[in-house]
Structure 1
Amino acid sequence: MTTAEEKKVIGEQFQLRMDQGELMNCMRCGFCLPACPTYIESGYQEEHSPRGRLALMKAVTDGEIEPDEDVERSLDMCLGCRACEPVCPAGVNYGHLLEEARDTIQQNKKHSAPVKAARNLAFKQLFPHENRMQTLTGLLGFYQRSGIQSLFHKTRLNKLLPDNLATMEKVLPNVPRKKEMKNRPSFVEAESRAVKRVAFFSGCLMDTMFMETNDATIKLLKLADCEIVIPDSQACCGALHGHSGEKAGAAELAKRNIEAFEETGADYIITNAGGCGAFLVEYDHLLKDDPEWADRAKQFTDKIKDITSILVELDFHRTHTLALSEQIVTYQDSCHLRNVMKTADAPRKLLHAMENIDFREMEKADSCCGSAGIYNIVESEMSMKILDTKMKHTKATQAATIVTANPGCLLQMKLGIEREGLSESVRAVHIVDLLLEAVEV
């Protein structure tokens, strides 16, 4: 529980750190309400809407209320999907305000020993260190290959886990061996004459747990006649830090990445994970007050492009035959890819170009699936409500293949498929893997 002294300090820090002008931009019009999953799934509670959260932030900043547990709970319940931003007539940068508020609270309160240990482990000891990520995911791979996972299921020990975690354990991808994770390319030549020189942001989870998708991304870029640089010194994007009240850690990771990519001479920096790309493309905001890094961050963000955007730009869907077996396909937007990177048309153009498929747009494809980083773990109840609504819209399309463009969304949709008992007839796949499947058929 936050003490009176901590509340006082947090209130003072809100006055110093929160952008008063940005808070004042909110006109309380309510256009954001229908776009907010937590507002809808909470039974239309104002404190779980963007407008309500902005009102709470402003009230704390103005000294009208204390930054108590109710305020923190409201902010924690937010997915950070930023669906409120495209529909806001005033253009309020809600995501920036949310991250600033969370960081202000987390950095000025005393955490319990278990929470402090968990945050230290995740934000300082694990995600910033590629070798430790490889070791951890390598252990997961050993668990899958050694027969331990099979035994875990046969003895029904998995039933001891909460339902959503037990299902999530079941849908995790097959993890490569640590040796494979360490043996990664740093440069790949174009298939023929190079038309673009690109640098690939490989990410932390993407280059370990989802390494096959990264390999598929590199193959597609090669087929699109790009020469590809993959800097060895790149790091985690910092999104988890930035969304969880660890902005200083996020800034340090941003600086590492900017340095890693500055010397590549690339036309673009390519990402294949909506969540990572959205954080990378806002490094200029993260480092705007750092005179040494602000310009360098802007040059970095100007080059960020999602894999689907570069493929469309290079007419990949016109110069290559894309064909699959006959099937119904639907697409679930990655919130951050759509709302922050403004990329929604490119994935659909690529899907529409595939032969033999019946593409069906699902209702509210632009609404969050409930994954939101680790939200589906820390806010399981709300996450599952959102997922259940998403699966209702998905099932209405009768799709056999659900496509998305972010690893968290992919796992969440696989979780939804399992929860609905559809694993024998429906699959979820990253768009990159589906494209490679289509071009190699």
Structure 2
Amino acid sequence: MSVIEDLVQETEKCINCGFCESVCPTLPSKNYRAIYGARGRVFISKESLKEVKSHGRITLNIEDSIFSCLECYSCYYVCPAGVNPGRVSQMMRNVINRDPSRRKPVAEMIVSLIMKYGNPLGIREKMCSWARGIDFDDSSDTILYTGNMYQLMPYSSFLSKIEAKLNEKTIENMARLIKRNPGILKIIAIPDKIMMERMEKILLDIAFLLKSSGIKFRYLGKDEPYSGAFLYELGYLEEFIEYGKYIRDLFISKNVKNIITIDPHTHEAFKVLYPRYVDNFNFRVFYYLELVNIPLKKLDENLVYHQPCHFTMHEDFDIPSKFIGSIGNVILPERNGKSNFCCGGPAELLYPKLANSISTVRFKQLKEKNGNRIVTACPICFTNLSKDSTVFDIAELIYQNYSKKY
């Protein structure tokens, strides 16, 4: 089935009931403008498909509506007709991107850098500094694969602050300039130093937890490419498949058999998406907490857990909460599980103001539970929700409470 056929089939199921709008995080943050809600996205997708069928192209201005979708899938789990507006938005991005004149310049810049350098900012060589001094097992066929995600967040945070202060036209012109002259980004991409130290410490904690569990692994260092997840999420399916083949061939050449992932976006890409789209992507993929097996101290603390959408909505994967429960009392916000409320992070690349608005709402929901700490299990969630000192990555929590350290 083609993407167009799949879209037609999905959008035609909509009965226009509006249940999806009751849970869509972007709708209230966009002052309830209908096109920025789940139902609105399905409706304009349906109308756009009619245009494609009759005129061969889209004339409606739908890009901001479609690309601002977080793909959190909250809408899907309340839809009585079984429509997934998040999936509709993801597929519509692919349709939009077929017309070069309609592509988002910032997305084009990121895709170009990934395809050329194996990193969304073109700074792949800076992603492995955290691992200096660690003794890896270079004979192992298992790799610890960071996917560059934790390392990218300090840069993303800094660039988003700049982006939020500029108008859209200036941002687009900058993106076009950087796409033509990628070396510029290496000059202006300055990481948040405090966040960089924190992220590198989290990576060290993860490596320590795996080693303490008796897991032997190596790290590809400067040869480790970014996962490619943004390619899929931005609707560049053909590039995603091409990039997946590159990763497959690289791993085969490095004699990689097993991959340890450390974040939800990368885990989904390697466990679900690449095997679906890339032939012979036959690696065994583990999320690192599946392998961690250490004694933990029990605390008399209430730990408010923000579940990552890519674990809770896209997959049914709940290992992080088991570890949190081994340390303290797991407290979930009102919006949890299949009614989870996204951190806003997926909008950060293209719509930083929207992302901040949504993350502020989510942070308030988490703080209302009056827990001792807020715990995340995703670097994007961690970055977007770190609005005070009570927010921790799950690796930090586990490392701090590994009982044999005391």
Same fold per TM (> 0.5)? yes
Structure with max Cα Rg: 1
Query: 2:324 aligned to 319, 338, 351, which one?
Result: 351
Q: Distance in 2 between matches of 1:234 and 1:44?
A: 42
Q: 1:7 maps to which residue?
A: none
Q: 1:204 maps to which residue?
A: 148
Amino acid at match of 1:272: I
Q: CA deviation at 1:411?
A: 0.9
Q: Larger relative contact order (C-alpha < 8 A, sep ≥ 6)? A: 2
Q: Distance in 2 between matches of 1:186 and 1:39?
A: 47
1:222-371 → structure 2 map (5 Å cutoff): 222-231=211-220, 233-261=223-251, 263-266=255-258, 269-284=259-274, 287=277, 293-294=278-279, 296-297=280-281, 299-300=282-283, 303-311=284-292, 316=293, 320-323=295-298, 326-344=300-318, 346-354=319-327, 357-365=328-336, 366-371=340-345
Residue-by-residue CA offset, 1:50-70 (whole Å, 9 max, x unaligned): 232122222222237973453
Query: 1:386 aligned to 338, 358, 369, which one?
Result: 358
1:434 aligns with 2:397: yes
Against the structure 1 CA distance between its residues 286 and 93, is the aligned structure 2 distance closer, same or farther, given a 3 Å change threshold? farther
Given that residues 343 and 358 in structure 2 are in contact (C-alpha distance below 8 angstroms), is that contact kept between their aligned partners in structure 1? yes
Q: Distance in 2 between matches of 1:35 and 1:412?
A: 20
Query: 1:53 aligned to 21, 41, 45, which one?
Result: 41
Q: How many percent identity over aligned positions?
A: 19
Between stretches 333-342 and 58-67, larger displacement belongs to 58-67
Q: 2:65 maps to which residue?
A: 74
Q: Distance in 1 between matches of 2:66 and 2:94?
A: 11
Q: 1:168 maps to which residue?
A: none
Against the structure 1 CA distance between its residues 90 and 227, is the aligned structure 2 distance closer, same or farther, given a 3 Å change threshold? farther
Q: CA deviation at 1:189?
A: 9.4
Against the structure 1 CA distance between its residues 186 and 62, is the aligned structure 2 distance closer, same or farther, given a 3 Å change threshold? farther
Against the structure 1 CA distance between its residues 382 and 129, is the aligned structure 2 distance closer, same or farther, given a 3 Å change threshold? closer
Q: Distance in 2 between matches of 1:394 and 1:349?
A: 19
Q: Distance in 2 between matches of 1:19 and 1:399?
A: 42
Q: 1:213 maps to which residue?
A: 202
Amino acid at match of 1:72: E
Given that residues 110 and 121 in structure 2 are in contact (C-alpha distance below 8 angstroms), is that contact kept between their aligned partners in structure 1? no
Against the structure 1 CA distance between its residues 200 and 114, is the aligned structure 2 distance closer, same or farther, given a 3 Å change threshold? closer
Say how many residue pairs are matched: 349
Matched position secondary structure for 1:333: coil
1:187 aligns with 2:137: yes
Matched position secondary structure for 1:398: coil
Amino acid at match of 1:53: R
Q: Distance in 2 between matches of 1:112 and 1:16?
A: 18
Against the structure 1 CA distance between its residues 330 and 42, is the aligned structure 2 distance closer, same or farther, given a 3 Å change threshold? same
1:399 aligns with 2:371: yes
Q: Distance in 2 between matches of 1:394 and 1:378?
A: 25
Consecutive unaligned residues of structure 1, counting only runs of 5 or more, are 1-13, 138-177, 191-196, 288-292, 418-425
Amino acid at match of 1:60: S
Given that residues 236 and 253 in structure 1 are in contact (C-alpha distance below 8 angstroms), is that contact kept between their aligned partners in structure 2? no
Against the structure 1 CA distance between its residues 220 and 115, is the aligned structure 2 distance closer, same or farther, given a 3 Å change threshold? closer
1:101 aligns with 2:75: no
Against the structure 1 CA distance between its residues 347 and 129, is the aligned structure 2 distance closer, same or farther, given a 3 Å change threshold? closer
Q: CA deviation at 1:310?
A: 4.2
Amino acid at match of 1:304: V
Given that residues 130 and 204 in structure 2 are in contact (C-alpha distance below 8 angstroms), is that contact kept between their aligned partners in structure 1? no
Given that residues 75 and 84 in structure 2 are in contact (C-alpha distance below 8 angstroms), is that contact kept between their aligned partners in structure 1? no
Residue-by-residue CA offset, 1:8-61 (whole Å, 9 max, x unaligned): xxxxxx985754333334444444333311134334443222232122222222
Q: Distance in 1 between matches of 2:235 and 2:104?
A: 17
Residue-by-residue CA offset, 1:96-150 (whole Å, 9 max, x unaligned): 4423321321341326997598446644445448983334x6xxxxxxxxxxxxx
Q: 1:153 maps to which residue?
A: none
Amino acid at match of 1:23: T
Between stretches 111-120 and 19-28, larger displacement belongs to 111-120
Q: Distance in 1 between matches of 2:82 and 2:49?
A: 20
Amino acid at match of 1:254: G
Q: 1:151 maps to which residue?
A: none
Residue-by-residue CA offset, 1:266-295 (whole Å, 9 max, x unaligned): 3xx3322112222333324762xxxxx43x
Please report the TM-score for the alignment, with normalisation by the length of structure 1: 0.67
Residue-by-residue CA offset, 1:57-85 (whole Å, 9 max, x unaligned): 22222237973453212102212222233
Q: Distance in 2 between matches of 1:352 and 1:19?
A: 40
Q: CA deviation at 1:240?
A: 1.5
Amino acid at match of 1:361: L
Given that residues 15 and 62 in structure 1 are in contact (C-alpha distance below 8 angstroms), is that contact kept between their aligned partners in structure 2? no
Please report the TM-score for the alignment, with normalisation by the length of structure 2: 0.72
Given that residues 261 and 286 in structure 2 are in contact (C-alpha distance below 8 angstroms), is that contact kept between their aligned partners in structure 1? yes
